[in-house]
Structure 1
Amino acid sequence: METTVKTHDGNGTTSAPAPPAELQPFLHDACVTLCAPSMAVSRPDGQITGGCDGFYHGDRRGLSFLTVLAEDVPNAPISGGPDSAGRASFRTVLRGLAEHSPDPAVTLERRRSVEPGELSETLTLHNAGLTSVRVRFTLRATSDLASMETVKSGHTVPVVAPAIEPDGLTWSDGELTARLTCTPAPDAAGHAPADAAELRYSVELGPGERWEATLSCTIEDDKGEAFPPASPRARVALASGTALTTADRGLDHWFARSRSDLAALLLADPLDENDTFLAAGAPWFLTLFGRDSIWAARMLLPLGTELAAGTLRTLARRQGAANDPSTEEQPGKILHEIRRDGLHFGDGLSVPPCYYGTVDATPLWVTLLHDAWRWGMPAEQVERLLPHAESALTWMDEHGDADGDGFLEYVDSTGRGLANQGWKDSGDAVRRRDGSLAEPPVALCEVQAYAHEAAVSAAALLRAFGLPGADRWEEWAQGLRRRFRERFWVEDADGPYPAIALGSDKKPLDALTSNIGHLLGTGLLDEEESRLVAGRLAGETLDSGFGLRTLAAGSGGFSPLGYHIGTVWPHDTAIAVQGLVRDGHFDAAESLAAGLVRASASFDGRLPELFAGHGTRTDSRPAPYPAACRPQAWAATSSVAVLQAVLGLQADAPGGRLTVRPRMAGRYLPLRASGLRLGEREFEVAVDADGAPRVTGLPEGSVTVETEAAPRER
């Protein structure tokens, strides 16, 4: 029977279908505490109560419900949230206990920490009153041992009946086992309705006294996680290696918070645990994603090349070697994602545990190798990866351009995978200006830019290491640039601009999108074309004031809360900022970067995967996209990308050169960034209030430093 809800309009009461029961859970007010591959997701008061809440390890949920409540008194949460990526604290007033004035007297504090495979909480009762109190409180817990896929889809599964033990609870399905232990042991334990369990304490506190208990939840998975945690040493190095101080405390806070979050997202390759990479984001994407991990490592190159090297090798070990239509693997192709289990989206859509359905990760891998070399990745490590780069180039030329028209395109060959296989991979992301959707195969504009840059970068690598083929790939890039100019440009009342893609009929899909920002700095555009793109990015239909909208306001299908059709993605804007700086469009770059810094303050420095695209004309702060990951790796690394753009940093370690041109640094001066790295050498950049940059820390004569003063603030 269809359920209806009452709605009212000017003509009276009507009935409309109620929303479906199974909806993706919202995250915008969640507190996420993590140390990959584990994380805890709770309400702002610390309670784990349903939806996406829980304690997870390796894409499985070990706890789905955990509340702590004092009985027979009002529980009033007064503070709560993350203290760092892996720690959070929450405080609740137990009202009416030992109060001799309007002031609160008895509080319950929860201090949470997450390590791989373990959630720990310290509960502290404190009586600051003048009289003794007795507090009876109850811990209630359940577990459904659900997969992340099930949680994300909004499906519910029955909870697992717990085994009650003297010091806690155990849940198991024969493969996954979750144990909750309490120290001291509870005074009583028992079953509660709906297969929940209750652990009860009765505590007497005199004036000024405290009482503590420790909870620990561990998860053991006989199948094992897809990727183990990075070593503590690697996490500490990423979290604490660099410091930034500027005149804009918002940028400083975003930068510091991002480093902490990135360390918590770090995972290792089980085939060589010295190689680390960044998981894409929490909670939905806490695993290896080719595109995401590559972009995140590329943005972090000014902090060192170790992460880039680990990311490159991790992906190279899994580079496609055969044609497998079921996974979309092809020789030379870089994968899209790896999961503990496959994903099933409903309506017959699903992807296998190791899935290659992406068109852009392969050229991006080649460019990351080149850029890491420029930033000082050891030559012998680069050389060992050159055969993988040549395989990737062959994939671009043969499989990536399956129909031989000279462009890289994609089509889901399985009929059940991702319909769109660029970074905007939702089903409605690629469209015409009137809102009509693309039909595959699709050739995205930014993928042609990635391919062009990869070919030029590969030519530089091949020439530097004495290998043949450099001339061929430079000619290949020239041909692609010529074809792009002939086929992708469209025009409206405001002039020419690049279309988002070519559709199945090889005609341009003429929506105006943020994708065009990815063309800048890649060499695909000439000077005039770059100027036209910069002007579009600076226009009010794309620039929201908090970053770039993914789809221009006013376009067919535009929605400020549409995943790829109107929201703002920080990494997308940061890529455009870097491209604008490379091509010399500093005013547009400065405006977009300032928008991201403004937005970061609204999210306490932890920028989410994406947020709403309403913009500063209507909103004083950006509204969250309710299901966005937070933290997300490439949103966090965007802070480093913005810093690199602000400083105008360019590296050529093989040539012994470093360039610092802070042309858009005016609002951030004075500025000091320490712990930057060029290969094995650590250096610092300081830019005084007068705009004069200084580089210190590089050995005299080892590197030629080229600097240019920042222009005086206009």
Structure 2
Amino acid sequence: MSAGWQPFLSDRVVALRAPTQVWSGRDGDAGGTAIEGIYHGDTRFLRHVRLEYRAPDGKWQPPEPISVMSRDAATVIFGSLLRGVDDATPDPKVRLERLREVRSGVVTETLRLHSHLDRPLVVLLRVRLTPDFSPLQEVKSGAAPRTDWSATGAGSTVQVRRGQTRIDLVAPTATATVDEPGNEVTLVWQVRCEPRSWTEVTWRAQLVDPALVVLPAGRPVPWSVELPEQIDPRLRMWVHYALSDLDALRLALPIAPHDEFFAAGAPWFFTLFGRDSLWTARMLLPVDATMAASTLRVLARLQGTKDDPESAEQPGKIAHELRAVEFAMPGEGIVLPPLYYGTVDATPLWVCLLVDAASAGMPEDDVRQLLPNLRAALEWIDHAAADGFVEYLDETDHGLSNQGWKDSGDSIQWRDGTLAAGPIALCEVQGYAYEAAAGAAALLDSLGEPGGERLRAWAESLRDRFRDRFWVQTPEGRYPAIALDRDGRGVDTLTSNIGHLLGTGILSPAEEAEVSALLVGPTMSSGFGVRTMSTAAAGYWPLSYHGGSVWAHDSAIIARGMARAGRQSDARVVVEGLLAAAEAFEFRMPELHAGDAATTAPAPAPYPAACRPQAWSAAAAIVCLQIATRR
């Protein structure tokens, strides 16, 4: 990879337990590509991890890989052969298993040597480690890794430091050496294996960063899922791996370690993201309501209280993301403060989740405790819609230019490919706002609280304005525009955004039927999920981040809306496409994949920089489970 290019991820192996992750090649070594290494929080602690053995000629060489298996999100087993110390017969008799286990702040590798030789085997094994301490944002931008660190220690223990961050390396029975002036730490074992036997050695890296703003989950998973006997085996496998990934993505904040939320995803988003964490918890509601309740409380504690253009904070607004330090993207002109509020949809989605969680069994006392936050969020929605619709505009010129879920700079385009000018009022955000107001009205009524009548009137007024202003007619048909631009014109590209309107209540049943039919039509349905943009749009490209690719969570939200709108057959079409994609990606769905048609491609091409696992891509499996098993 060239400097300045974002690393590719699609063919790398990841093991994780938030906020710790290890990226490697299929041989288990790290360092061959730009993403690889051992990370904790927003820092890459180790750039290279290389395993070697010494052959009889005295040369060090890597084992020859033959297998890789993920036992769960945090555990990977790499299988290899040591033919350089084997006998001359055709069958390999010396194997090495490399068991990698990731826990929060700790990475452990167990090297198990198996010998079927009829004589004792003595082998020197060596692990070479290169400390790094590069900020995650520099890795993402393709910047060169850092190398300034110091090390102390003797015997089998070494401590590596850079400022307050440190790595404690422990390798029982190994000899540890540090290559001056701080280039590499080497661990060497002399391993003896008796005839037809096995033996093992271990090493571990304990990673310490006092600046972390997140904590690992402190309790067992709160959900238990029993799958029906008669279920598509692809769905069974997807749900299995998805729940493992969701378990590994759980985090908490130091101010309330008992309240957990889902980190958005690996490798870049191991932290709280308002929109992502809310949608993930919402999609998981059919099997667990506790994560929804705790996510609501976490975000309520960070709810905006003042006007601050630099952070985009406003009273009642729900935060977009939280990091330990300022987040800058070199070359993109984006600089975000540690706590950033630049999202237009997290606030109505917070309200929607509270309404749904209350219906799913969230204790009434817990719901009541959040009523002040609910009212503040509703006031923000009302204020944001002062000109008729909920809209956004970055006021800093270095924040996110687009603040819906499609937050790339080119995501809001006209059919001819030109970009829309802001302020932007996204169609799906109006649907979220309608659902939030109508749902909150019903919730307040059920609790004997005032305000329901005013909210219902506000929602009805929004629905009338939406019907008057958003619908456009193009050669592809009649549908809601993706957005209104600064002049109030409907941006006329057909996109997946309109699918998020289904089931919110802002569309009539006839309008829902029109929208649903378009989304399962040939320009939008790839056969592996719903495309983000129609193939008939000038800006369509199957490998565009938001302009033609397929996102699992996006398609799942659409299928969920179709089911809520009574369009069950359309929902099952979308689910079937996602199952085909899940199988192609070995049931660990990435953030997104290419929008090529299943009629021309036997499997979806990966989007090579897609995060994996991604929380809402994993939670999409639960949506598909509910639709597929609904009678």
**TM exceeding 0.5:** yes
Q: Alpha-carbon deviation of 1:269?
A: 2.9
Equivalent pair of 1:433/1:511 in contact (CA under 8 Å): yes
Give secondary structure in 1 for the equivalent of 2:348: helix
Residue 39 and residue 581 in structure 1: after superposition, are their counterparts in 2 closer, same or farther (change >3 A)?
same
Output the CA distance in 2 between the equivalents of 1:540 and 1:170. Answer: 58
Q: 2:129 pairs with 122, 129, 141, which one?
A: 141
- 1:375-425 deviation digits (Å, cap 9, x = unpaired): 111111111111111111100111x22xx3210000001110000000000
Task: Tell me, in whole angstroms, the C-alpha distance in 1 between the residues paired with 2:152 and 2:96.
Answer: 25
Q: Is the 8 A contact 1:244 1:255 kept in 2?
A: no
User: SS in structure 1 opposite 2:354?
Assistant: helix
Counterpart mapping for 1:301-700 below 5 A: 301-347=285-331, 348-398=333-383, 400-401=384-385, 404-648=386-630, 662=631
Contact 1:100–1:130, Cα closer than 8 Å, also in 2: no
**1:197, 1:375 → 2: CA distance?**
52
Deviations 1:123-169 (A, max 9, x none): 11121123344423321111111111111111113323452532143
Residues 98 and 131 in structure 1, CA contact (< 8 A), matched pair in contact too = no
Q: Report the equivalent of 2:42.
A: 59
Q: Does 1:160 find its partner at 2:148?
A: yes
- Report how far residue 538 of structure 1 moved: 0.9
Q: Aligned partners of 1:158 and 1:301: how far apart in 2?
A: 43
Which residue of structure 2 lines up, in the alignment, with residue 651 of structure 1?
none
Cα distance in 1 between the residues matched to 2:21 and 2:592 = 20
- In terms of mean alpha carbon deviation, does 166-175 or 80-89 score higher? 166-175
8 Å CA contact 1:192, 1:198 repeated in 2: no
Q: Is the 8 Å Cα contact of residues 291 and 336 (structure 1) preserved in structure 2?
A: yes
Question: Which residue matches 1:229?
Answer: 216
Instruction: State the alpha-carbon separation in 1 of the partners of residues 174 and 182 from structure 2.
Output: 23
Give, in whole Å, the separation in 2 of the partners of 1:193 and 1:602.
46
CA contact (8 A) 1:62 1:144 kept: yes
Instruction: Compare 277-286 and 45-54 and name the one that shifted more.
Output: 45-54
Q: Which residue of 1 aligns with 2:283?
A: 299
SS of match in other structure, 2:344: coil
Report the Cα offset of residue 647 of structure 1.
4.0
Answer whether contact 1:296 1:634 (CA < 8 A) is retained: yes
- Residue 92 of structure 1 is matched in structure 2 by 80
**Quick check: 1:98–1:132 contact (8 Å CA) kept in 2?**
no
Tell me the distance in 1 between the aligned counterparts of 2:229 and 2:67. Answer: 28
1:42 aligns with 2:43: no
Q: Which amino acid aligns with 1:474?
A: R
Asked if structure 2 preserves the Cα contact closer than 8 Å seen for 1:560 and 1:614, the reply is: yes
Partner of 1:178: 167
C-alpha deviation, 1:334, in angstroms: 0.2
CA distance in 2, matches of 1:381, 1:460: 17
Equivalent-residue separation in structure 2 for 1:105 and 1:20 (angstroms) = 40
Alpha-carbon distance in structure 1 between the residues aligned to 2:240 and 2:404: 30
Q: Distance in 2 between matches of 1:28 and 1:411?
A: 33
Kept in 2, the 8 Å contact 1:31–1:81? The answer is: no
Deviation at 1:190, TM superposition (A): 4.5
The residue number in structure 1 matching 2:158 is 169
Aligned amino acid, residue 387 of structure 1: P
AA aligned to 1:469 is G
Q: Distance in 1 between matches of 2:42 and 2:517?
A: 43
Q: Rate the CA distance shift 1:192–1:601 in 2: closer, same or farther, 3 A.
A: farther
* Distance in structure 2 (CA, Å) of the matches to 1:54 and 1:445: 40
| 2:545 partner amino acid | Y
Q: Go from structure 1 to structure 2 and tell me whether the alpha carbon gap of 1:605 and 1:613 turns closer, same or farther (over 3 Å shift).
A: same
Q: Normalising by the residue count of structure 1, what TM-score does the alignment of the two structures yield?
A: 0.85
| 1:619-675 CA-partner distances (Å, limit 9, x unpaired) | 111111111111111111111112222344xxxxxxxxxxxxx2xxxxxxxxxxxxx
| Secondary structure in 2 matching 1:210 | strand
CA RMSD of aligned residues (A): 1.7
Q: Does the CA contact (< 8 Å) of 1:190 and 1:199 recur in 2? A: no
SS in 2 for 1:483: helix
How far did 1:58 drift? 1.5
Of 186, 191, 195 in structure 1, the residue corresponding to residue 183 of structure 2 is: 195
Give unmatched runs, 5+ long, in structure 1. 1-18, 649-661, 663-714
SS of residue matched to 1:111: strand
Query: Secondary structure, in 3 states, of the residue corresponding to 1:639?
Result: helix
Unpaired runs of 5+ residues, structure 2, are none
Separation of aligned partners in 2, 1:273 and 1:190:
37
Residue 546 of structure 1, CA deviation:
0.6
Q: 282, 287, 290: which one pairs with 2:266?
A: 282
For the residues of structure 2 that align with 1:124 and 1:181, how far apart are their CA atoms? 17
Q: Which SS does the other structure have where 1:303 is aligned?
A: coil
Contact 1:79 1:92 in 2 (8 A): yes
Q: Distance in 2 between matches of 1:32 and 1:526?
A: 44
Structure 2 counterpart of 1:201, one-letter code = W
CA distance in structure 1 between the aligned counterparts of 2:319 and 2:86, rounded to whole angstroms? 61
Please show how residues 107-146 of structure 1 align to structure 2 within 5 Å.
Answer: 107-146=95-134
Residues 262 and 278, structure 1, Cα contact 8 Å, conserved in 2: yes
Larger mean Cα displacement after TM superposition, 334-343 or 149-158: 149-158
Counterparts of 1:61 and 1:338 in 2: how far apart (Å)?
Answer: 18
Q: C-alpha displacement at 1:170, in angstroms? A: 2.6
Greater displacement, 76-85 / 267-276: 267-276
Shift of residue 440 of structure 1? 1.1
Alpha-carbon distance between aligned partners in 1 of 2:533 and 2:323, rounded to the nearest angstrom: 30
Shift, 1:68, TM fit:
0.5
How far apart in 1 are the matches of 2:539 and 2:182? 43
1:174 is matched by which residue type in structure 2?
G
- 1:513 and 1:551 in contact (8 A); partners too: yes
Q: Distance in 1 between matches of 2:16 and 2:164?
A: 23
For residues 270-322 of structure 1, what are the alpha-carbon distances to aligned partners after superposition, in whole Å with 9 as ceiling and x for unaligned?
A: 22222111111111111100000100111111112111100000000100000
| Secondary structure at the counterpart of residue 364 of structure 1 | helix
Identity %: 45
Quote the offset at 1:373 in angstroms: 0.7
The alpha-carbon distance between structure 1 residues 305 and 205, as it changes in their structure 2 partners (threshold 3 A), is closer
The amino acid that maps onto 1:354 is: L
CA contact (8 A) 2:43 2:134 kept: yes
> How many Å separate the matches in 1 of 2:307 and 2:229?
50
- Counterpart-to-counterpart distance in 1, 2:163 and 2:65: 38
1:30 deviates by 1.5
